């Protein structure tokens, strides 16, 4: 029977700055009247600030980020082309013209998929979202199935989409801050070219109608480049945002703010705090051997474990030094054969008993299956132990 193994790397813990799981030297600037807030450093995978990150809420127009992600995925797979045109119908105009935030499409117009995407990401077009869904799959039902399949694939366990645009749908559409952070990570990291092309525009003109983007951070916070605001009476004021500086990308989520000013000010301040209050520091160099894992039925009784890449953490600036502990965690013994590079364990970094981050560890050597003689020797070793 396999058991989880813990191997302490140092009885005297490393002396480093405080973990991001601990308070930074300056508190996060999130007002108490914003019930849900989350800030994640994608470069380290660490959560820098969290408040009710798993609480479900109505995302309103932030839903359109999943619509954009779904389109990006189809474009990347060659199933959808940005230059493809779609003829907007009278039925769609009757249902969606001037209904909430709008691109103001008219029947008979033939926008491209790329223009619809800009209408979604820049002016939050409810009409553009529905048009894109039908252009891509032929029906809203098929599009929603894709959206929900993508959410499941990304691990968004507290999310369901009942519309492509977040328009009130009787509670069918819901999500959580943690899930939106996963979506923010996926769209910025998996499709960086499409993300840069379609997000971060300050305004859009369609026919003679010019509209401004309500994104509160792009053009106002250094490195900010999206993503999406949302508002309904039920949802309050919501935002999924991101910024990148010097290769370090942060994703933030705010939900349920009482008004747009509170949300917008907090969105800008939280990103600035994330960059200013934390610094990146290498904890362990790449390809450093840290310990070993037991191997069952192998030519060797153990295999060395190393870091595939450098382990980098976001550490609070100016905080008192805190004692970190690191331990190797794996489910073992590991069954032979083991191939060099197999990721068979994790390095867990904790502070004050709280897990700050986990990174994979790989086998530093290969361990083939034991031959008959080696199996006898291994059996004797176990008996003697």
pLDDT score at 77 = 97
Six-digit token string for 176: 């959580």
Q: Is the pLDDT of residue 112 over 90?
A: yes
Helix H or strand E encompassing 118: helix 113-123
What is the dihedral angle through the alpha carbons of 71, 75, 79, 83, rounded to the nearest 10 degrees? Answer: 100
pLDDT score at 113 = 98
- Tell which wins on pLDDT, 5 or 318: 318
Domains annotated on the chain, with CATH: 3-19+282-384 (2.60.410.10), 36-276 (3.40.710.10)
Q: What is the pLDDT of residues 343-364, one digit of tens each?
A: 999 999 876 677 778 889 999 9
Q: Provide the percentage of residues in the chain whose pLDDT is more than 70.
A: 88
pLDDT score at 332 = 77
- Tell which wins on pLDDT, 48 or 6: 48
Six-digit token string for 355: 């897990």
Q: How does the average pLDDT of the chain come out, rounded?
A: 89
pLDDT score at 370 = 80
**DSSP classification of residue 338:** B
Q: Provide the percentage of residues in the chain whose pLDDT is more than 90.
A: 74
Q: Is the pLDDT of residue 123 over 50?
A: yes
Six-digit token string for 106: 């008219």
pLDDT score at 59 = 97
Of 7-21, 202-216, 289-303, give the lowest mean pLDDT range. Answer: 7-21
Q: 3-class SS at 45?
A: coil
pLDDT score at 356 = 74
By the 8 A CB rule, do 36 and 177 touch?
A: yes
Mean of the pLDDT values across residues 35-43? 96
Six-digit token string for 213: 């983007």
Q: What is the pLDDT of residues 160-171, one digit of tens each?
A: 999 999 999 999
Q: pTM to 2 decimals?
A: 0.84
pLDDT score at 384 = 62
Q: Where are the beta strands (DSSP E) in 84-202?
A: none
Q: What is the pLDDT of residues 184-207, one digit of tens each?
A: 999 999 999 999 999 999 999 999
Separation of alpha carbons 349 and 355, rounded Å? 6
Residue found by looking up tokens 């309103």 in the block: 60
Mean of the pLDDT values across residues 221-236? 94
pLDDT score at 28 = 85
373 pLDDT tier (thresholds 50, 70, 90): low
323 pLDDT tier (thresholds 50, 70, 90): low
Separation of alpha carbons 258 and 32, rounded Å? 11
Q: Is the pLDDT of residue 287 over 80?
A: yes
Q: What is the pLDDT of residues 57-108, one digit of tens each?
A: 999 999 999 999 999 999 999 999 999 999 999 999 999 999 999 999 999 9
- φ, ψ dihedrals at 383, nearest 5°: -65, -45
13 pLDDT tier (thresholds 50, 70, 90): very low
pLDDT score at 381 = 63
Q: 3-class SS at 193?
A: helix
Separation of alpha carbons 165 and 65, rounded Å? 9
pLDDT score at 93 = 97
1 pLDDT tier (thresholds 50, 70, 90): very low
Separation of alpha carbons 86 and 117, rounded Å? 12
By the 8 A CB rule, do 255 and 32 touch?
A: no
């Amino acid at each position: 029977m396999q058991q989880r193994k813990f191997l302490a790397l140092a009885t005297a813990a490393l002396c480093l700055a405080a973990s991001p799981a601990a308070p930074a030297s300056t508190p996060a600037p999130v007002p108490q009247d914003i019930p849900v807030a989350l800030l994640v450093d994608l470069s380290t995978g660490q959560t820098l600030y969290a408040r009710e990150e798993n609480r479900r809420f109505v995302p309103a127009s932030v839903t359109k980020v999943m619509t954009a992600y779904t389109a990006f995925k189809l474009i990347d797979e060659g199933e959808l082309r940005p230059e493809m045109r779609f003829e907007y119908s009278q039925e769609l105009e009757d249902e969606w013209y001037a209904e909430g935030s709008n691109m103001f499409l008219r029947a008979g117009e033939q926008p491209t998929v790329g223009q619809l995407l800009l209408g979604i990401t820049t002016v939050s077009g409810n009409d553009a979202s529905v048009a894109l869904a039908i252009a891509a799959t032929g029906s809203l039902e098929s599009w929603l199935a894709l959206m929900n399949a993508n959410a499941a694939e990304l691990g968004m366990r507290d999310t369901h989409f009942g519309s492509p645009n977040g328009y009130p749908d009787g509670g069918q559409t819901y999500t959580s801050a943690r899930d939106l952070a996963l979506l923010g990570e996926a769209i910025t990291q998996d499709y960086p070219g499409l993300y840069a092309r379609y997000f971060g525009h300050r305004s859009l003109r369609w026919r003679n109608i010019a509209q401004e983007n309500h994104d509160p951070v792009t053009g106002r916070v250094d490195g900010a480049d999206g993503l999406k605001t949302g508002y309904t009476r039920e949802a309050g004021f919501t935002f999924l945002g991101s910024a990148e500086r010097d290769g370090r990308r942060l994703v933030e989520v705010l939900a349920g703010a009482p008004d747009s000013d509170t949300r917008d000010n907090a969105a800008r301040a939280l990103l600035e705090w994330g960059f200013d209050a934390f610094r990146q520091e290498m904890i362990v160099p790449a390809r450093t051997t840290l310990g070993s894992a037991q191997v069952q039925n192998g030519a060797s009784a153990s295999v060395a474990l190393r870091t595939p890449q450098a382990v980098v953490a976001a550490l609070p600036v100016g905080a008192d030094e805190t004692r970190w502990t690191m331990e190797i965690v794996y489910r073992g013994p590991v069954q032979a054969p083991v191939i060099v590079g197999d990721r068979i364990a994790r390095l867990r970094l904790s502070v004050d008993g709280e897990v700050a981050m986990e990174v994979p560890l790989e086998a530093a050597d290969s361990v083939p299956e034991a031959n008959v003689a080696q199996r006898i020797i291994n059996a004797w070793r176990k008996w003697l132990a």
